[in-house]
Amino acid sequence: MAEGGQRQSRGRYFEDFQVGDRVVSGGRTITETDVVLFAGISGDYNPLHTDAEYARTMMFGERVAHGLLGLAVASGLAMQLGFLEGTVEAITGLEWKFRAPIKFGDTIHIEAEVAQRRAANSGGFIVFNMAVVNQFGKTVQKGQWTVFVRGRPQPPYGT
């Protein structure tokens, strides 16, 4: 803990981000358990995700993960990288495209690049170009996330 009971962040402050900065996460394999748990949490029991016999008759020929599960895992992978830990205050915008299915057993990772930055009171907005990429190098989801990131704390006057 930092002085005053505030938690020290390992995240980057607004001033630390530059357009063009890139990060790549480690991989995460999507399992049947992930899909079943997500169906329970979200209430989305679409048979495309939960019924193998039904899914065989559909366009992918097998069950696939919920698109929003992919987005949720992408968010977790971004936080695991640490660059936003303790400094991001809000996700303020999201544009997202679902380009290809995430299949059971696929290992996905994220690739993020700073596209824009705009200063505001006490920090600023960072727009990231985001991609969710599978083990074959195929982008399965992509879009932009806009987040508000806290500015670097100023030292107390006189120090």
Chain mean position to CA 11: 15
pTM for the full model? 0.90
Q: How far apart, in whole angstroms, are the C-alpha atoms of residue 150 and residue 159? A: 21
Q: Mutual orientation of helices 32-42 and 67-81 as an angle, nearest 10°? A: 100
The pLDDT of residue 3 is above 80: no
Burial group, residue 129, by CB count within 10 angstroms (0-12, 13-18, 19+) = middle
Task: Tell me which CATH code domain 11-150 carries.
Answer: 3.10.129.10
Neighbours of 22 (CB within 10 A): 10
Structural domain boundaries in the chain: 11-150
Burial group, residue 130, by CB count within 10 angstroms (0-12, 13-18, 19+) = buried
- Tell me the C-alpha to C-alpha distance, in Å, between residue 131 and each of 90, 98, 100: 20, 10, 12
Report the sign of the C-alpha dihedral through residues 129, 21, 84, 154, in that order.
negative
pLDDT tens profile 63-113: 999 999 999 999 999 999 999 999 999 999 999 999 999 999 999 999 999
Query: What pLDDT, on a 0 to 100 scale, did the predictor assign at position 157?
Result: 72
Q: Which residues pair with 22 in a beta bridge?
A: 113
